[in-house]
Structure 1
Amino acid sequence: MHPSQSPPRRSDPSERVGFRVASFADLDTRTLHDLLKLRVDVFVVEQECAYPELDGRDVEPGTRHLWLARDRAPVAYLRLLADPGGVERIGRVAVARDARGGGHAGRLMREALTVVGARPCVLDAQAHLVDFYARYGFTTSGPEYVEDGIPHVPMRREAAATAGR
């Protein structure tokens, strides 16, 4: 930074937030720790879901970890899984509590769908987020169900939905 420039304000959560994507093999140990901590903080602690957060899918060759980071610290995260039949699966979408309201989830979804490209994509949305995912071309693909005490809805975005976006 040039001496005459002021440092960036810290009050705007969207400042200096960069997008990252990596396979498991490309994650350094500190980044892996920080991503898993964000997931545990949101899903296990905040949502009080005692479930096996480490499910073995993070290390699969087709899995990609996507996140937004401010000064190396992740503020939003999701993972993309390669499901059978060329279908991508979005999961573990999380935004740090102190970063919510800054548009990070939307930005992360747009980035993820760029990575997905023309392939069909599925996710299991928490029921209160159905309208959020619908903004990105997802439609309900099955009945609501309860997982870990939280209502979920399966959703799908067909490959044709990516045309012209």
Structure 2
Amino acid sequence: MAKAEAPAAGAEPAPPKSKKLLIIILALVVLLAAGGAAAFFLLMGKSHEDEDGEAAPAKAEKAKPKKKEAATPPTFMPLEAVVVNLADPGSTRYAQVGITLQVEDAKTADEVKKFMPAIRNGILMAISRRTAEELLSAEGKEKLAAEILDLVQKTAGMEPYKGYSPVEAVLFSSIIVQ
């Protein structure tokens, strides 16, 4: 009835399980965890890097103080419409362009008004260098808006600092080409 008999004479006892396998498995788990943590920090660092330097248009919106965005809506400053001869070769064409500036607040609008003669002159010069085709295309309008925005920011001394300027956008209220 004794079931516990001594092993057979030819059979050797089973060797104890190797601790080497356990150490290898633990090392792999630690390496995987470290690799995951490193990937997480690299990806998070890259998104912060994009905010700080590479994505300029998105950065302009993120650089604004959040309390200003929530507290006050932007101020829109309509300018008097301009009528300009266009630079079309071989024909005389005109454009009437209505422009509205989007600025941060009324104080900024008052500051911009101080430079209005110089701003208006720059706008007239910028539009008069365009052809009718340029003004009628979407890309041409976008380039003109960007040029006018740059002109207003530089003339008023409100150039972007870290992607932010209180002069926020140039909006066209009308464009008529004849």
Normalising by the smaller structure, the TM-score range is under 0.3
Higher RCO, Cα 8 Å, sep 6+: 2
What is the TM-score when the length of structure 2 is the normalising length?
Answer: 0.21
What is the TM-score when the length of structure 1 is the normalising length?
Answer: 0.22
Whose helix proportion is higher, 1 or 2?
2
Structure number with bigger Rg: 2
Whose strand proportion is higher, 1 or 2?
1
